[in-house]
């Protein structure tokens, strides 16, 4: 009996303790975020990066945290981590227009640096454009997985309403409207679910990476002795990941592609997967 009472008490106290713990971590996150913002305003961008990174590693992430971290990196002209942060902010919150705008700004900077590196060389640093269906898919997945999940739920409700009207209402006109409307809602619901899963798969795909070092040149083979391209790519360049290799002798390598002029291998420590 006594033991039962103790177990019951523990069951009651545990949620309180958990909420207390989360309240504690939330307050420490607020404190760190305030410190980081203060450092940022005082143009101590490196300190701001350190504090935001501490929040990210020890407590958790949010789109706004990634955005602020990206801004601090951009102020330091460190475009590689900036691109990673803005991209992750957009993955968490596809509607964050400020993150998108700052990402485009950094991409322009990176493009300019690549142009400068490739001056007088007959090479094109423009990323390969996606195929027609790839573009359509990207456009469709842009709002995010959760958006399409909510849309699917709404369409399901509409479908239910259509079914109810069709079943319970006697008027022929209403039945017709309910039938076709319900059918359309069902199709849209299925499409929305499919897009939601597809967007989730894209987020988890790990098929894009960013160069994190100031400059690095692609290698023909995954080896430190392999021939490297004459022209390097600037930090912040986004690449498509084709293959990864983990070897106890050669080390960790990633096979990447920018376009038909730039494809090859990079050391894994030079890039970060978004």
What is the Cα–Cα distance from 202 to 104, expressed in whole angstroms? Answer: 20
- Comparison of 93 and 226: residue with beta carbon closer to other proteins: 93
Compute the least distance from the CB of residue 177 to other proteins, in Å: 18
Cβ distance 219 to 266 under 8 Å? yes
Compute the least distance from the CB of residue 212 to other proteins, in Å: 18
Burial 111-136 (b: 16+ CB within 10 A, else e): bebbeebbeeeeeebebeeeeeeeee
Compute the least distance from the CB of residue 28 to other proteins, in Å: 10
Record the tokens describing residue 89, joined without a space. 């902010």
Cβ distance 57 to 110 under 8 Å? no
C-beta neighbour count of 76 within 10 angstroms: 14
- Comparison of 26 and 136: residue with beta carbon closer to other proteins: 26
Residue 267 region by backbone torsions, left for phi larger than 0, else alpha for psi between -120 and 50, else beta: beta
- Comparison of 182 and 264: residue with beta carbon closer to other proteins: 182
C-beta neighbour count of 1 within 10 angstroms: 5
Compute the least distance from the CB of residue 266 to other proteins, in Å: 19
Compute the least distance from the CB of residue 116 to other proteins, in Å: 4
- Comparison of 75 and 259: residue with beta carbon closer to other proteins: 75
Residue 77 region by backbone torsions, left for phi larger than 0, else alpha for psi between -120 and 50, else beta: left
Q: How far is CA 220 from the centre of its chain?
A: 29
- Comparison of 162 and 222: residue with beta carbon closer to other proteins: 162
- Comparison of 13 and 21: residue with beta carbon closer to other proteins: 21
Compute the least distance from the CB of residue 258 to other proteins, in Å: 15
What is the Cα–Cα distance from 211 to 221, expressed in whole angstroms? Answer: 18
- The binding site for other proteins (CB under 8 A) comprises 25-26, 29-30, 33, 37, 40, 55, 59-65, 67-68, 71, 74-75, 77, 91-92, 98, 101-102, 104-105, 108-109, 111-113, 115-117, 119, 126, 145-146, 149-150, 153, 156-157, 160, 163-164, 167-168, 193, 196-197, 200, 203, 215
């Amino acid at each position: 009996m006594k033991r039962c009472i103790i177990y019951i008490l523990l069951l009651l106290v545990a949620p309180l303790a958990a909420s207390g713990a989360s309240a504690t971590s939330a307050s420490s996150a607020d404190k760190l975020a305030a410190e980081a913002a203060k450092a940022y305003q005082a143009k101590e961008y490196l300190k701001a990066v350190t504090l935001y990174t501490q929040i990210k590693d020890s407590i958790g992430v949010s789109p706004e945290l990634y955005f602020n971290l990206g801004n601090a990196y951009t102020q330091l002209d460190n475009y590689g981590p900036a691109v990673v942060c803005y991209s992750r902010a957009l993955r968490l919150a596809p509607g964050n227009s400020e993150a998108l705008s700052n990402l485009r700004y950094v991409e322009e900077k990176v493009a300019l640096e690549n142009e400068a590196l490739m001056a007088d060389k007959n090479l094109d640093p423009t990323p390969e454009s996606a195929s027609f269906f790839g573009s359509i898919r990207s456009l469709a997945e842009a709002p995010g997985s959760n958006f399409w999940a909510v849309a699917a739920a709404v369409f399901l409700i509409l479908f239910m309403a259509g079914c109810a009207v069709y079943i319970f209402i006697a008027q022929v006109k209403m039945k017709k409207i309910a039938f076709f409307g319900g059918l359309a809602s069902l199709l849209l619901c299925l499409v929305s679910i499919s897009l939601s899963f597809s967007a989730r798969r894209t987020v988890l795909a790990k098929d894009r990476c960013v160069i994190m070092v100031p400059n690095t040149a692609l290698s023909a083979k995954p080896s430190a002795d392999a021939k490297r391209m004459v022209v390097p790519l600037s930090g912040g360049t986004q690449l498509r990941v084709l293959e990864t290799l983990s070897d106890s002798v050669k080390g960790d390598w990633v096979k990447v592609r920018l376009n038909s002029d730039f494809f090859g291998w990079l050391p894994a420590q030079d890039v970060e997967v978004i």
